């Protein structure tokens, strides 16, 4: 809620928006925006960002701060960080969940310490390593690390892992979701990868983290293997307070239509995911809010270069631009999409004034969804997709050399605003 003061000069210079623990302030004359978190002991911790020309001043201070964080990510100022939060990230990908957790730690004046990162994709794990410098990296099958079934006595390998990593405060996990995804028409709801979800409960048995955050696609609740139910039941048995909900990430300011299923488990405190989301809900943010400044970005390297398109797709883009329309008529679609179909967004053009559709690894192909740029004769470039997934420009993707690998890690990531708000609630 907005603070009210009778001093009109102060109101003209400073805008403020507050929640019980979090407030943002824009100082016009010095051109910085700050975030203040009031910690459990009542002391405030302030983070400031100097505003660049790409950040709009015609928005609320929280949106201003988060746009500055997204478009620069550098130039932040804060007092020294004291104490550390020791974090393990299972199925880490390139680090979306860790990114939000790290930002929450910074907001609370604490150090984020990456202790363990686990992922079979070596390219993603290298990006994670460059950005978070984990102490221990495991790039093989997770069953070689967590060898026992839920409820069994710890195996020798697991005892060695527990000794190697020591205390874990926060466990983050994004188990592979392709087996549950509605885009998977082959093994959906009955996929061996879905059992990987239960490795999270096994890690809780091994390391006993104080807090756990698990994310997945909403359809995880329909898995035939009942991995979600078995995992949450075991966490309850271990003494965790467990909450699980489907979250619409656009409510948190993610500029795309994206829903995720989230489980939060805590040995320390009990939170309601819905209450956290309600507390941090903001006005919907548009595509232009996130990527408007990248419209004419120079095509340098795979991160900033659009994919080459087939001549048929170029003709489809030409039609949309010349007619100023956003949906392709059936006559211009492939034959398999011409009659009774539900693929309206395929070969579609994005709206600048609306959120993007869900970003997947197919964001560079018109046939994979509504991924044609609003004004340019191309699909989204990886830089734009990363922004829409809330990776700040300071995030280092430079080790990736293959376009497909880059698209996969960006599309499979979790926008950091999710773990940011959950960790603010858990760690405060």
Residues marked active site are found at 177
Among 103, 105, 113, 109, CA closest to 81: 109
Among 38, 18, 23, CA closest to 109: 38
CA atoms within 13 A on the CB side of 198: 18
User: Which structure tokens are listed for 239?
Assistant: 């003494």
Q: Are 252 and 421 in contact (CB under 8 A)?
A: yes
CA dihedral 325, 330, 336, 341 (to 10 degrees): 80
Residue corresponding to tokens 């053009």: 349
Tell me the residue ranges of DSSP E strands in 297-398. none
List, edge to edge, every strand of the sheet that includes 76-78.
14-18, 22-27, 32-38, 44-50, 76-78
Sign, CA torsion 55/60/65/66: negative
DSSP string, 291-343: HGGGTT----TTTS-PPP--HHHHHHHHHHHHHT-SS--GGGS-GGGSSS-S-
Beta strand 22-27 with 14-18 is antiparallel
Q: Are 375 and 282 in contact (CB under 8 A)?
A: no
**Checking phi first, is residue 95 left (phi over 0); if not, alpha (psi -120 to 50) or beta?**
left
Tell me the residue ranges of DSSP E strands in 157-294. 170-173, 211-216, 241-248, 259-266
Tell me the residue ranges of DSSP E strands in 180-328. 211-216, 241-248, 259-266
Task: Name beta bridge partners: 216.
Answer: 261
């Amino acid at each position: 809620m907005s603070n009210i003061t009778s001093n009109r000069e102060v109101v003209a210079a400073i805008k403020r928006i507050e929640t019980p623990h979090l407030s943002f302030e824009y100082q016009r004359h010095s051109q910085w925006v700050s975030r203040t978190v009031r910690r459990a002991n009542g002391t405030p911790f302030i983070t400031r960002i100097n505003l660049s020309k790409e950040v709009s001043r015609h928005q609320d201070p929280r949106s201003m701060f988060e746009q500055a964080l997204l478009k620069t990510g550098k130039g932040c100022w804060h007092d020294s960080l004291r104490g550390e939060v020791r974090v393990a990230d299972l199925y880490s990908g390139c680090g979306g969940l860790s990114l939000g957790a790290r930002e929450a730690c910074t907001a609370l004046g604490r150090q984020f310490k990456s202790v363990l990162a686990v992922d079979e994709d070596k390219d993603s794990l290298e990006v994670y390593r460059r950005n978070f410098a984990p102490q221990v990296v495991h790039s093989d099958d997770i069953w070689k690390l967590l060898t026992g079934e839920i409820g069994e006595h710890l195996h020798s390998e697991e005892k060695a892992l527990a000794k190697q990593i020591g205390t874990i405060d926060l466990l983050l996990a994004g188990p592979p979701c392709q087996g549950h995804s509605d885009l998977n028409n082959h093994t959906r709801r009955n996929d061996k990868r879905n059992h990987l979800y239960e490795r999270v409960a096994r890690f809780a048995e091994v390391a006993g983290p104080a807090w756990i955050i698990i994310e997945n696609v909403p359809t995880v609740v329909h898995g035939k293997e009942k991995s979600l139910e078995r995992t949450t039941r075991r966490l309850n048995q271990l003494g965790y307070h467990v909450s699980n909900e489907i979250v619409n990430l656009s409510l948190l300011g993610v500029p795309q239509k994206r829903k995720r299923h989230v489980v939060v488990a805590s040995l320390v405190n009990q939170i309601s995911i819905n209450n956290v989301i309600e507390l941090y809900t903001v006005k919907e943010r548009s595509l232009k809010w996130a990527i408007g400044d990248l419209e004419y970005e120079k095509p340098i390297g795979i991160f900033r270069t659009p994919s080459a398109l087939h001549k048929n797709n170029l003709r489809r883009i030409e039609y949309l631009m010349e007619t100023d329309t956003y949906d392709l008529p059936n006559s211009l679609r492939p034959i398999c999409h011409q009659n009774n179909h539900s693929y309206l967004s395929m070969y579609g053009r994005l709206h600048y004034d609306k959120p993007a559709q869900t970003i997947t690894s197919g964001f560079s192909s018109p046939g994979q969804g509504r991924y044609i740029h609003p004004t340019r004769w191309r699909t989204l470039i990886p830089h734009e997709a990363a922004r829409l997934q809330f990776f700040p420009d300071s995030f280092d993707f430079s080790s990736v050399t293959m376009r497909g690998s880059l698209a996969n890690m960006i599309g499979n990531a979790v926008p950091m605003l999710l773990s940011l708000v959950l960790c603010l609630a858990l760690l405060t």
